[in-house]
Structure 1
């Protein structure tokens, strides 16, 4: 029904367009009220003193030594199965502004996020960028600026942004296609790339026995899985990222 409505909307007169816009908004509102996503199962899969996962207090980690991190980065859990991108963007606006000007579903509307029932569900790189561009932020992304061509370039790219205080929104094959935010990188103080650790704000953090919104991932493993095989169109599936900062931060 959403797909049909949106297709008609392109050709309808003003009155019909208004009616269909209202209908679409109502559907979005229902989806929001119904909950869903990781937010609907907060802490239900937590395991105290997990024998398999070490629980790190990421929020209170301090920048310094081998660790480069955006301290006290606030996280969220997405409210639907398809709004990982808007949820990731919400954390970025919160990081810079203290309080996000829009909630997750309002961000999704501006981004043109596709619901789970639509073709190509979720949010592409253009949609992620659109939200921040409409706010007047300085935006860089993989489509116009390119992406790191190898792991060493990736490591340098991440460290440069984090040292500038800039979180990096990234999409990869996690969950079959998922936006997260790189907020930390630990070189472990040596030249062994294989033990580098990536710290991410994850809006669907349900599988590591502590749903705190943070994920610890081997940096090399992330880099070689940094692609999308299902949701994005060909030519836009590899190493997608977005950074956005308010003008005063550039």
Structure 2
């Protein structure tokens, strides 16, 4: 009896193990397919060729980082091939956008402008040529001072007015849209009586309201809510420029004040905005474990940090941006 029971139990165990093995094998095949697909679509073995130029600070700038933070086995970041990636039903991307890493600690503005100019085929100026023309990071109290000489606020870095003046001075370029205003009155600025945070007083109002992410109107009092983020006022504005091959240069709180160019938007295939991503051409790309000059960040979270209260002077601290086109 004991021997018979043992045989029955053994047979049952064999069947169970066989079933488990088949399930495991099947699951392994599924995992293999998923992993293979993810690997093919999201990771790259070779980086695209970046824009190269003279190194103006051998010990500083993103280029001096020299890929020290790269980690192909990172558990936190994978490296999408943004240079060769194609737009599809959920992704809108300016394809084959070439990037550059700034060679000083302060030249994100000039290098962002250089990348955008390069995108339109204008390659006549170097990082320092642009910085000199913009008077970026320059001691404005000293005649003949060069970029890098700034010694007091608001000389540091580059603000939206300097990018505006640079592009309007270049033959063939036109400013399509910008937060910069050449002429404004005191009444145009945020006042203490407006009830806003003191940090905002003295600034021009932000161009876009929070509601513009969730509604078809750019209004604080709107009730025109959308069920799909692609129909929101801000996303339509964003994709309107991207679909016309125009990067959007933005200054935000990253690195305590930083210029990048938005070159892509991904809705991740869902109607909600919570998983929507922005893709940037980043002149200081040292923190996503793959220094290729591209950066990605959640749109909704980025929107809340779209300001520079550290480097930019008032009244241009809120949502600084500029969009240009090339007509030559």
Structure 2: gaps of 5 or more residues: 1-54, 138-147, 183-205, 214-231
Structure 1 window deviating more from structure 2 (148-157 vs 177-186): it is: 148-157
Change (3 A) 1:35 1:86: farther
- Give the TM-score normalised by structure 2: 0.63
* Residues 101-180 of structure 1 mapped to structure 2, 5 A cutoff: 101-114=124-137, 115=148, 117-119=150-152, 120=154, 121-136=156-171, 137-139=173-175, 140-144=177-181, 147-150=207-210, 151=213, 152-180=232-260
- Structure with higher Rg: it is 2
Deviations along 1:55-111, whole A, 9 cap, x unmatched?
1111111012111100010000001000000110111011110x5210111101111
Which residue of structure 2 lines up, in the alignment, with residue 88 of structure 1?
112
Q: Distance in 2 between matches of 1:96 and 1:217?
A: 25
Q: Going by fraction, where is helix more abundant, 1 or 2?
A: 1
Q: Distance in 1 between matches of 2:168 and 2:88?
A: 32
Question: Which runs of at least 4 in structure 1 moved beyond 4 Å after TM superposition?
Answer: none
- Alignment partner of 1:72 out of 92, 96, 104: 96
The total of aligned residue pairs comes to 218
Which residue of structure 2 lines up, in the alignment, with residue 45 of structure 1?
69
Asked if 1:207 corresponds to 2:207, the answer is: no
Q: Distance in 2 between matches of 1:66 and 1:142?
A: 28
Residue 44 (structure 1) shift = 1.4
Residue 169 (structure 1) shift = 0.3
Q: Distance in 1 between matches of 2:181 and 2:246?
A: 18
Which residue of structure 1 lines up, in the alignment, with residue 309 of structure 2?
229
- Contact preservation (8 Å) 2:57, 2:103: no
Q: Distance in 2 between matches of 1:189 and 1:148?
A: 24
Deviations along 1:188-210, whole A, 9 cap, x unmatched?
23220111010000000001110
Structure 1: gaps of 5 or more residues: 1-30
Q: Which SS does the other structure have where 2:295 is aligned?
A: strand
Q: Distance in 2 between matches of 1:106 and 1:35?
A: 20
- Contact preservation (8 Å) 1:138, 1:246: yes
Change (3 A) 1:66 1:169: same
- Contact preservation (8 Å) 2:57, 2:104: no
Which residue of structure 1 lines up, in the alignment, with residue 270 of structure 2?
190
CA-based RMSD: 1.9
